[in-house]
Amino acid sequence: MPPNISNDKDTDKLALDSTAFWDALLDGHRELRTILEPCLRSDWSMGAPYNLTGGRVASPVIAIRGTEDAVVSMEALSGWESVSSDLHVSEVAGGHLLLPDRRGVLLDHIHQKVIKHVPELDRRT
């Protein structure tokens, strides 16, 4: 589930301090950081207060985090149990930004999880 952001301090921590990607990108670029900080805060704040309404979903949920993720803990992933009784939590090597940093590994992992539940999607058979 998205983190529960209760104040601007939490938003700041998530948006600016939690990923090495943004720190490395903006390091030494004070002007750029000044311009982008409000956008990053807004981006994180948008998704954080989302709450599922209407109960649970009828499908399996696959929750994946990077083994080196400093933002999302394994405990946080277990929060998805409130959404589906068929939760599959796992980790792949990498940090928080798996899609840009570990795209192939992440997609292979998702593929393996999905074909366990829907074997007819496996084109190798």
- Quote the pLDDT of residue 72: 87
Stronger pLDDT, 6 or 45, i.e. the higher one: 45
Nearest residue to 111 via CA among 85, 84, 92, 83: 92
Question: What single letter denotes the amino acid at residue 110?
Answer: I
Task: Give me the mean pLDDT over the 32-60 stretch.
Answer: 73
Domain carrying residue 41: 8-47
Task: State the total domains in the chain.
Answer: 2
Report CA-CA distances (Å) from 102 to 16, 65, 82, 105: 21, 11, 28, 5
**Would you say residue 29 lies in a domain?**
yes
Asked whether residue 4 carries a pLDDT value surpassing 70, the answer given is no
Does residue 22 carry a pLDDT above 70?
no
Is pTM beyond 0.85? Reply is no
The answer on 66 and 117 residing in a single domain is yes
The answer on 66 and 43 residing in a single domain is no
Q: Are residues 68 and 94 in the same domain?
A: yes
Inside any domain, residue 56: no
Three-class HEC string of 9-46: HHHHHHHHHCCHHHHHHHCCCHHHHHHHHHHHHHHHHH
User: Is residue 71 a part of any domain in this protein?
Assistant: yes
- Can you tell me the mean pLDDT for 61-81? 89
